[in-house]
Amino acid sequence: MLLNMYELFLSSYWSLLILIVTSIACAIIGTFLVLRNLSMVSDAISHTILLGIVLAFFITRDISSPLLIIGAGLFGVITIFFTEVLSSTGLVKSDDSVGIVFPLFFSIAVLLITKYARNTHLDIDIILTGEVILAPLNTFDIFGYELPKAFVQMSIIIILNLIFVAVYYKELKITTFDKEFSIIAGFSPILLFYSLMTLASVTAVVAFDAVGAILVISFLITPPASSYLITKNLNKTIIVAVIYSIFNSIVGYMLAIMYNVSISGMTATVAGITFLLTVVFNKNGIITSCILRYKRRKKMFEDLLIVHIGNHLKDKEIDSELGTNSIYLHLNWKEEDFLKVARKLEVKKDIFVENNRYKLTENGLKRYEELYKTYIM
């Protein structure tokens, strides 16, 4: 089995390389999409580029033409433009305008394919779900080396994305986090927004070859979303997102080969799992917040008891208020809950029992005074 896998790996390592390159390119640009709350917009783009691909295909009649990339990329931008225009009328919310525009474009694309392109090379299934294992078969020569086309294209996209981020880093940062200030400072957030979206849709178009139109969204959004949960600095968010995406690709690829299933699907699944793990285990995640809630609850009960004893120390009805047999009735707690709290405080030497009454020790008095100052005064 292991040997078999090794052989499979040797024969298909280009697929893995293409997958990794694709995921890196997507993670870089995706970080900004996540930070600007454009995740579902990019989902819309990843669907509408299908219409661009179909239209460009009708013009060029060649699935591998670079015109296809430009045409489809343009369509992503047109989608954005339409949704922006629609929501700027104030008649619909921006979410809703995304929800109107992308099904329209997608429906047109499906109709065009089923009506006119049935017997052509344009397979709607491959476009949507992609097959990275087939990607290396399509090669071309560069300086005498035979390289898979998808790999070369994706590497160019990485370089483009990196250059864009490096050159406009400051501007991207400001427009992402403080739009008003960026206008005052003299940047055009709209221009930057459209360049970002152009790059995103070109990345998505090139990636569709390898991973399919629907799963592009996983490569774009999931790693940056995980990374955003554990980082606080834009630089680090990008770097950690890239690390996440490389990890997801490698694990997804290995699992997919082992069980002979869809590679891009498996990578998306693994990405989802690493995301969930991050949500559960990160510093502010579900587990830590549960523990914190439990600790706070315990402390609150202790504080309540101390305040109760402190308040009633000079009371007339001290016997019933602080008596060992009746105190829990006044607190309105169950007896066993009360005993748990009381025992803990006795161990801490905050309270003690004298003449069948609870009293505060010196420690307890100090704690009572502090509580009194913070809560009651």
Partner 1 sequence: MNNLSIFTTYIFLIIATGTCLLAIAAGAVGCITVLKGESLIGDAIGHASFPGVVLAFIIFLQRDPIILSLGALVCGILAYIVIQVVAKNSKLHFDAILAVVLSSFFGLGMVLKSYIQGNPMYVRVSQAGLQHYIFGQASYMLESEVKLIFFIALISISLIIIFFKEIKVFIFDETHSRLIGLNSKIIHFVILITTMSIIAIGLKVVGIILISSLLIVPAITAIQWSNKFSIVMIISGVMGGFSAVVGTYISTAYERMSTGPSIILVMTLISFVSLIIAPHGIVNQMRFKKNHKEKN
Q: Are 138 and 149 in contact (CB under 8 A)?
A: yes
DSSP-assigned letters across all residues of 147-203 = EEHHHHHHHHHHHHHHHHHHHTHHHHHHHHH-HHHHHHTT--HHHHHHHHHHHHHHH
Within 10 Å of residue 221's Cβ, how many Cβ atoms?
25
For the bound state, the minimum distance from the C-beta of residue 33 to partner 1, rounded and expressed in Å, comes to 9
Give the integer Cα–Cα distance in Å for 351 and 310.
Answer: 10
Residue 91 or 166: the one with the smaller Cβ distance to partner 1 is 91
Q: Are 185 and 174 in contact (CB under 8 A)?
A: yes
Give the integer Cα–Cα distance in Å for 219 and 200.
Answer: 12
Site for partner 1, rule CB under 8 A: 34, 37-43, 47, 86, 89-93, 95-96, 98-100, 103-104, 106-108, 110-111, 114-115, 118, 124-125, 128-129, 214-215, 217-218, 220-222, 225, 228-229, 256, 259-262, 264-269, 271-273, 275-276, 279, 284-286, 289
Residue 96 or 315: the one with the smaller Cβ distance to partner 1 is 96
Residue 55 or 86: the one with the smaller Cβ distance to partner 1 is 86
For the bound state, the minimum distance from the C-beta of residue 277 to partner 1, rounded and expressed in Å, comes to 12
Residue 63 or 279: the one with the smaller Cβ distance to partner 1 is 279
User: Three-state secondary structure along 327-372?
Assistant: HHHHHCCCHHHHHHHHHHHHHCCCEEEECCEEEECHHHHHHHHHHH
For the bound state, the minimum distance from the C-beta of residue 233 to partner 1, rounded and expressed in Å, comes to 15
Residue 37 or 64: the one with the smaller Cβ distance to partner 1 is 37
Q: In sequence order, what E strands does the chain have?
A: 139-142, 145-148, 351-354, 357-360
In angstroms, how far apart are the furthest CA atoms of the chain?
Answer: 99
Give the integer Cα–Cα distance in Å for 326 and 348.
Answer: 22
For the bound state, the minimum distance from the C-beta of residue 218 to partner 1, rounded and expressed in Å, comes to 3
For the bound state, the minimum distance from the C-beta of residue 256 to partner 1, rounded and expressed in Å, comes to 7
For the bound state, the minimum distance from the C-beta of residue 15 to partner 1, rounded and expressed in Å, comes to 14
Q: Are 215 and 47 in contact (CB under 8 A)?
A: no
Q: Are 239 and 247 in contact (CB under 8 A)?
A: no
Residue 202 or 217: the one with the smaller Cβ distance to partner 1 is 217
**Scanning the structure block, which residue is given the tokens 């070109």?**
202
**Cα-Cα-Cα-Cα dihedral sign, residues 71, 126, 204, 49:** positive
For residue 229, what are the contacts with CB-CB under 8 A and spacing of at least 6? Answer: 278, 279, 282, 284, 285
List the structure tokens of 301. Answer: 């009960």
Residue 99 or 323: the one with the smaller Cβ distance to partner 1 is 99
List the structure tokens of 52. Answer: 């661009």
Residue 193 or 301: the one with the smaller Cβ distance to partner 1 is 193
Residue 67 or 290: the one with the smaller Cβ distance to partner 1 is 290
For the bound state, the minimum distance from the C-beta of residue 276 to partner 1, rounded and expressed in Å, comes to 8
Query: Minimal CA–CA distance to 10: which of 260, 261, 257, 264?
Result: 257
Residue 228 or 372: the one with the smaller Cβ distance to partner 1 is 228
For the bound state, the minimum distance from the C-beta of residue 266 to partner 1, rounded and expressed in Å, comes to 5
- The SS3 of residue 144 is coil
For the bound state, the minimum distance from the C-beta of residue 82 to partner 1, rounded and expressed in Å, comes to 11
For the bound state, the minimum distance from the C-beta of residue 27 to partner 1, rounded and expressed in Å, comes to 13
